Amino acid sequence: MKILFLICSFFLGACFGSFLCCQARRLRYREEHGKDSARKLGSRSVCLHCKTKLKWYDNIPILSWLALAGKCRSCHHKIGALEFLSEVGLALAFFAISTTIDITTTNPIAWVTFTVTLILTLVLGFLAIYDGAYGELPMKYLIIAIVLGAILTIIKQAQVVTTIGFTPNVFINPLGSVGILGGLYLLLYLVSKGKWVGDGDWLLGVAIGLALSDPWLALGLLFISNLLACFVMLPFYIKNRSKKIYFGPFMVIAFVILVTFSNYFMSLI
Ligand SMILES: [Zn+2]
């Protein structure tokens, strides 16, 4: 049963990855070409290069991309690695987060936390895709992420109050977490006048800080995301020094890792 649940989660994640990447492309297309030309594309999936509507069998997440070797069937224009990475990334994220829930539990709070975490992962996934592709974080989605993060904080801290009673940590932990992630990126942004990190990075930090709601996990996230960014971005950075590092995708990947292994990380501390 658990295995079936995980397989479904993986497939659902892949579908959402495909959908989110498509939405990111469409949002950008609308910003560049105006609302009217974006509306002309219709609601079905199209190749943004030749405008051909995609057949259903070219729309299967991960598999279609591999079958077509990352090219449009009609115009052979490159579809790009972003589509593939989004589908695989979201599939793995959904799979990983689904391992954290005991599917036999009847505790409604566990299911609510799980569902909100998955929805937040979708919003963060969208932000990571958009940031990875265009180096920007759309404000509307940052605000949605912050609201979802706040909901998770409230649930977590309410659980603390009901199990061990009120302690000042109920406020200190979320504030510390937000201070570490949001505060640090805001400081980097202000000190560098936006040269090192973008203006959306600190808001993303606030959203993730709220969701983690723990300063130790926030420090863990900082460590993992910077480590990932170093490994992936260093070769690009050596080639082209002027390139700004987009932290968004790395913070989101680190968030999924921390949520999945939060018990393990907390036991280390
Ligand atoms: Zn095409």
Helix or strand (DSSP H, E) at 118: helix 108-134
Q: What percent of the chain stands above pLDDT 70?
A: 97
pLDDT at 242: 57
Say yes or no to pLDDT of 43 above 80.
Answer: no
Higher pLDDT, 44 or 264: 264
Work out the average pLDDT over 237-262: 83
pLDDT-derived band at 241 (thresholds 50, 70, 90) equals low
Taking every pair of Cα atoms in the chain, the longest distance, rounded to a whole number of angstroms, is 63
Rounded Cα distance, 166 and 237, in Å: 48
Residue 49's pLDDT is what? Answer: 82
CA of 60 to the centre of ligand 1 (A): 16
Ligand 1: distance of its center to the CA of 39 in Å? 18
User: For residue 198, is pLDDT > 80?
Assistant: no
DSSP 245: P
Radius of gyration of the chain (CA): 20
Extract the tokens encoding 159. 């659980």
Q: Which residues pair with 53 in a beta bridge?
A: 46
Span from the CA of 72 to the centroid of ligand 1 (angstroms): 5
What is the tens place of the pLDDT at every residue in 164-185?
989 999 999 999 999 999 998 8
Q: How far apart are the CA of 129 and the centre of ligand 1, in A? A: 21
Using the mean position of ligand 1's atoms as its centre, give its distance from the Cα of residue 79 in Å: 8
CA of 138 to the centre of ligand 1 (A): 27
Please give the distance, rounded to the nearest whole angstrom, from the Cα atom of residue 259 to the centre of ligand 1.
Answer: 38
CA of 46 from ligand 1 middle (Å) equals: 8
Please name the residues in contact with 268: beta carbons below 8 A apart, sequence gap of 6 or more.
none
Q: What is the pTM (predicted TM-score) of this model? A: 0.91
The first and second tokens of residue 128, run together, are 């990571």
Other beta carbons less than 10 A from residue 62's beta carbon: 18
Residue 234 has pLDDT above 80, yes or no: no
Residues 28-44, mean pLDDT to the nearest whole number: 80
Q: How confident is the model at residue 85 (pLDDT cuts 50, 70, 90)?
A: very high
User: Residue 34 Cα, ligand 1 centroid: separation in angstroms?
Assistant: 20
Q: How far is the CA of 179 from the centre of ligand 1 (A)?
A: 46
Q: What are phi and psi of 71, to 5 degrees?
A: -130, 150
Query: How far from 91 is each of 6, 65, 220, 222, 235, CA to CA, in Å?
Result: 10, 14, 23, 23, 27
Question: Residue holding tokens 């566990």?
Answer: 110
Specify the amino acid at residue 250. Answer: F
